[in-house]
Amino acid sequence: MILILIGYMASGKSTLGRILSKKLNYDFLDLDDYIENEEKTTVSDIFKSKGEIYFRKAETKYLMHILENKTNLIVSLGGGTPCYNNNMSLILEAKHAKSIYLKASIPTLVTRLNKEKSKRPLIAHIETDELLTEFIGKHLFERNQFYSQANITVSTDNKTETEIIEDLVLKLF
């Protein structure tokens, strides 16, 4: 089975994916890392040199490759991946895959993202909590129609990593 983790940036996809992979003895793959390895450059450089349209097409190509060829795998997607091309449909139609939406509230995301703004080019320029809240709220509103299609939704607010993993495993099995 392939478990696909979706959600907004800082929802815990990579962190929880690594923990879950150890617990289930599955391999872990971060789609952005996979793309960088295959393209031999960074996601940032792909955006700069080839543009977002190229990146989104590459993202779909590599997602399809993973869905067709991998098993016993946990995949962490980029926050926007489910929202482009027909990626969410590809995930939902894959018989051996389950999608998991790691749902975090806007206040939780603001708190988490404030700690790592410098590592997030999309939000590095946002100076106040109020503007960050507005930015995240707008994105979540646009992306919710995709995120909400996931097979399983797990709230990450006010929970430890252990509690989230336990909740997730109960919903999975």
> Which residues define the annotated binding site for Mg(2+)?
14
57 sits in which H/E element: helix 52-69
- Backbone phi, then psi, for 153, in 5-degree steps? -120, 130
Burial tier of 57 (Cβ tally within 10 Å: 0-12, 13-18, 19+): middle
Q: What is the DSSP string of 130-145?
A: HHHHHHHHHHHHHHHH
Residues marked as binding for ATP? Answer: 10-15, 120
Enumerate residues 6+ apart whose C-beta is below 8 A from 2: 66, 67, 70, 71, 72, 73, 74, 75, 94, 96, 97, 98
Q: Per the annotation, where are the binding residues for substrate?
A: 32, 56, 79, 143
Query: Which residue type sits at 44?
Result: S
Binding site as annotated, residues: 10-15, 32, 56, 79, 120, 143
